[in-house]
Structures are given as C-alpha cells and as structure tokens.
Amino acid sequence: MLCGANGVGKSTILAVIGRAFSQHQSELRRRAAAQRPGHWHALISVGESPVEAQGEAGGFMPTEQDEPQQLAYQSSKSLLYFKANRDFVYSRLEAISRDPIGEIIHSSASAVTGVDQTDLKRWIANRYLFSRHPGSLTEWQIANFDFAKRCFSILDPRIEFSSVEATTFDTYVQTPQGRVPFEYLSSGFRASLAMLLGIIREIEIRGFGINAHSFSGIILVDEIDLHLHPTWQRLIVTALKEAFPFAQFIATTHSPHMIQNAELGEVIALIDDGSAATRLGDFNIGKYGFKGWSLEEILRDVMGLKDTTSEAFSNAMLQFDSAIEREDSESVRFWLYELESMIHPANHLRKLLRLQAAPIEGLYND
C-alpha cells in the first residue's frame, strides 16, 4: 500500500506501472516543479525471465505525450488496473451479449485507462442465465460465477446474491431490508463489489481459462479505501488477499486504519520534503509494523498531516497554556471550560488539563 500526502505521487506510481505494460498513449507528465523529464524504469518478473520497461515524461501540458523506450505490453494480460472511479449506477440492459474478445489490444488499453466497470451487469446476467443450460458454460466459468456470488457476502454476511430477472436482466440481492437491485446497495459496498467482481470478470474476459482464485498477475487499485466505512476498510484488504492469494496487489490509500492493520513490509510511505523530489519514509518500526501506532501518529508521521486536531482546538490549547504561564486564573478557568466543551467526554485529557489548572490560585473554590 502506497500512502502519503495529496500530490506526493501515489497515483502516478500506479500510472507508471500501467504504462510499462501498455503500448497505448498515457497521460504521464513531469511534475510542475521539475525542470527535466521524469524518467521511469520497471523490472518485471514474467516466469523466470525478467523483462525491463522504461521511458520518460517530459511534457507538462495535456497535449504533450510521454516517450516510452521499452515496454512489456506483451504481458499486459497479467495486469489489472482499477482506477478510483469504481462505482456503478442503475442501467437497463436491453439484451445479453456475448463476452468481448480478450485480445492484447484490450489489456494494453486498460493498462492505462483502467478496467471497464460498466460491463459487470451484463457479465453477471450472462453467467446466471446461461448457467441454467447444461453445457453452455465451461467448468471454470461455472466455478468463477459461484465465486462471484460468494463475493456479494464478503463484506456483509447479511447481503446475499439472489437472482437475475429474466425479463429485465436486473441483478437482485437479498438484504436485511428486503430484496433489491444490486445498484441500490451503499456506495462503499458497490465500490468494493465492483472491484471483486471486476477482477473475476476481467480474468475470464482475457482468456486465462483458470479459476480466478489462481490468478498470479498484478492488480493495481487506486484509492482502495474510497467510499468505505473504516470497518470495511479493514475487511477489504483481508478479503482481497484471501480471494486472490497469488496476485500482487499495489494500492494507494488515504486511510490510517488500513496502514494500522497492515502487515510488516506492506506499507510504502511517500514523503514530500518540499523539494521537487519525493522520498521514501524511513520509520523505526518493529515486527508488528504500525499495529501499535495510534491513528493520530499515523496521520501525522506517515500520512504527512501537519495537525490532527481542529484549528479551534489548537488555538484553545495555546490560549490555555499561555494562561497557565501567566498564572491568570480567570483566563485559565475560561479556556479550561472551552476545552472541556470540545473534547470527548471520556478523553483522559480532561484529567490532565484539570491537574495543570489546579495549582493556579483562585481557580477552584473547593
């Protein structure tokens, strides 16, 4: 998981990896502050033979193109790139078409544009309706559709795949609130579902002829925490690793919850030191990674957030500390009241603030 402040280059790294697998034009550009082209180099393991890819991005304007020198587009089938826009809305299907032909031009294009998520409804309806006819689907297509149906419950066991209506081709799920079209699920659930189902569908479309669980390629996910409740942010990483244990995931995140629950070696923090360059964060962490760090510590030291509290709270703390130094009992009393009105009822800071204020003469009458 790549993390860091906005603009530090997380999504650019994914775009570079995608470009290494694509002969299609990309939108790679040099950084605005850079005076020279940005060079990139990738070493890709394909079987036992490493493949090199490299290029440079010298332009800054949208009309300027990057210049690759060496690409690995012949291996583009093994790269799945999911961009941040993974949501889907209700759409009406007029017919059930066959699968698109998974030629290399398709995988090469999606390596820079991202996997198409608009085809999920057609794919589900196709597999559901044809699974009713013996001999219409291959053994691995049937296995993958069963796998896809289980994915509906991966984040919330109360939600289950129900059926596809033959008259409308709408996909329905069973929820605690009743049976609804799957487009009616929450945005976070849809984003996660689109990623899980999109991986299975794309593996099939590209003609691997395997159970998707066995896929051993690369899966890029931009903003993996997008739309997700913190509880689901923790679940989705585990779900992806269990569903596709042989794949290499490279994802970007803004979530301290995901970093906190990551295993040792799973987090790469990018630091912007104010120059045109980005460097890797160097943290003194033990065998448990960031599991013992607080969310505030991760936000500040890993994610680059300068202040984890509101401006109003920070100002109140400054005023309180200043009143303590001046031994101004009236101001201490006022700012103590303001701070206690802001902080959580169970926050231990309440006790610390009162201990600080207690020695000031005249603060309490008792």
pLDDT value of residue 365? 47
295 burial type by CB count under 10 A (0-12 exposed, 13-18 middle, 19+ buried): middle
**Close Cβ partners of 270 (under 8 Å, ≥ 6 residues apart):** 2, 3, 4, 8, 9, 10, 278, 279, 280, 281
3-state secondary structure of 72: coil
**Close Cβ partners of 113 (under 8 Å, ≥ 6 residues apart):** 24, 83
Contact 171, 182 (CB under 8 A): yes
74 burial type by CB count under 10 A (0-12 exposed, 13-18 middle, 19+ buried): middle
3-state secondary structure of 291: coil
pLDDT value of residue 32? 65
Q: Domains in the chain, start-ordered, CATH in brackets?
A: 2-302 (3.40.50.300), 311-357 (no CATH)
Contact 197, 155 (CB under 8 A): no
Distances 276 to 34, 57, 107, 269, 332 between C-alpha atoms, Å: 6, 15, 33, 17, 45
pLDDT value of residue 88? 81
Nearest to 241 by CA among 213, 269, 209, 202: 213
Low-confidence ranges of the chain (pLDDT < 70): 31-34, 62-63, 273-276, 361-366
Could you tell me the pTM of the whole model?
Answer: 0.85
Q: How many CB atoms lie within 10 A of CB 72?
A: 21
The Cα 219–Cα 114 span in angstroms is: 11
pLDDT value of residue 34? 66
DSSP state of 299: I
- Of the CA atoms within 13 Å of residue 235, those in its CB half-sphere come to 16
pLDDT value of residue 303? 83
**Close Cβ partners of 265 (under 8 Å, ≥ 6 residues apart):** 289
The Cα 96–Cα 41 span in angstroms is: 42
